Structure 1
Amino acid sequence: MGNRNKVSSVIFLLLITLPVLGCTRGKANALVLAARSFEVNSLQTINAYDQLFREYKSLKRDTEDEVFRKSSSAIRESATNEKTSDLKKRLIQALSNRAYEMKAGEFEKEFDDIRLVYTSIRDTYSSLPDGSILGARYVVCGRGVVAKATNQLINFAKRLDSRPLYPLSLQKKVAEYKNAVVQDKEAEARLLFKDIAASIASYDKKHEELMQLTVIAVEDGARLYELLENYNSVSASEILSLVQENLSFIGSLQGLDTGAAKLRLENIERKFESERYWQRIKDKPIIELSKCDVKLENLEGA
């Protein structure tokens, strides 16, 4: 929140000094601020994803009632048969397989790589007000980096939605629950599942907060992407208004649930997918685009 307050203060100062700075330098400074806003919001989101992946591990999910109903059915069926029922075997096997480990370092490396990209965005745009040729080039090719970085945040959200994460302690409780089911301790099993349900609810709350952070960063990225596309035709004041608009947007997200957040992200993803420019750069690695090595004629007018 402190970084966002600083951004708001800088907007005010730039609006005062724009007549002194002149149009070109003023626009450059405003663009740097817009890029900085995207960086701050995106890194906050990336750090939150990183923390969640370190704290939790993937665990496939059934509802409390569904799993318990299956368990009770297995207990009743096995009690009427001399041999252990196939249903009971399948249930225990399913519960045992609910927890699965992520590959060591799989997400940590991905998060580290994207942090380097945001550092590159910041450093390159920072040179723009001084008339750096590289900075000027980045107004053109940086659009692809912003699009890729924004889309990567959307992909993180989609991955988390399709593969929910739950706390490591839940694995132990699931094992205890499994044993209670096997031993026909239905009352104990219900108590254990109350604890499991509470853990799931705690995770769901964190997931909702993370989705809100993602929407903030993705909306900011989408605005910056459009700004870079139309940079030659917008004024410094219009750029600053876009940054201020995003700050106001942040305040409107209170109570945004996961479903509504998903819908916002899907809409932005569809918008990217519908553009010829995105089709031309979507398969290029973001690290390659961040180096700004691509020829300008391959990107301009796309």
Structure 2
Amino acid sequence: MSDPAIDRGALLTEQPNPASAELDQLDTLALVELFCEEDRKPQQAVAAAAAQLAQAVDAISARLGQGGRLFYIGAGTSGRLGVLDAAECPPTFCSEPELVQGVLAGGAPALLRSSEGLEDLRGAGRADLLERGFSAADALVGIAAGGTTPYVLGALELAQELGALAIALACVPADQAPMPCEIDIRLLTGPELLTGSTRLKAGTATKMALNILSTGVMVRLGKVHGNRMVDVAVTNSKLEDRALRILRDLAGVERALGSRMLQEAGGSVKRALLMAQHDISATEAAARLRQAGGRLRQALHLRPSPPPGDPSRER
């Protein structure tokens, strides 16, 4: 049900866009060109929120570094974008599926069939998080383009009650729609070309922001070396080819040798790179990575372990 205290018609995302007042009268090329022009605004909106995004990356990384998890929660387009970003983390960064989770009002069926009425259930967001064991150790990004979604607000309230990290992400000014949070990210993309259709510019800006959050967090957690996905999960031929190119480019390993090293390393690009750079076994490479907390750059600079029986091992 609608909250009578909120004038949704006054929200920035609900305002009519003067540029598209005659949208149905435009010829097709003009319509496409108008969309292209308006779609510059999401990039500007994300850039304007850079400081808040950086704060969120650092705060989420700190939680995950201590064993916490990252949850995205939303309804409709906002929720689907969160699920998409979460689903892409394991194949990209070889992260555990539980590390980054997307929670969508209506669950999996709502990915394919709209169930927008569920967003009005303030208690449902709380219940869905608790069902997944959400706790004080975790971080939550509540995504609501208009900033008024009860499902998301209830979830953010729960996060604050538990002492979890609560981050709000919306496309309206904070004074139009306050959200309970520690970090408030506002992506002000302006009125949509199709009035109120936040799957357009607001959705584009949201996807960009989530790209930054998840990638930035994984960089901070040591899952990236330079700009290479060294924690990529080698699960198909495309990803195997990418892994072999990483070994070639970073360690000068030719394809045949790289394939053998990857097999010995159990598909781990990090272990194979250490093996190539320091001429060590997969077991030693794994030990160095554990000592470096999984961070390849630090592992590359660790001194080799003395052989068994060497007196220096006791020092």
Q: Same fold (TM over 0.5)?
A: no
- Name the structure with the higher strand share: 2
In the superposition, the TM-score normalised over structure 1's length comes to: 0.25
Which structure shows the higher helix fraction? 1
Name which structure has the greater RCO, CA cutoff 8 Å, separation 6+. Answer: 1
Structure (1 or 2) with the larger CA radius of gyration: 1
- When the two structures are superposed, what TM-score results if normalisation uses the length of structure 2? 0.24
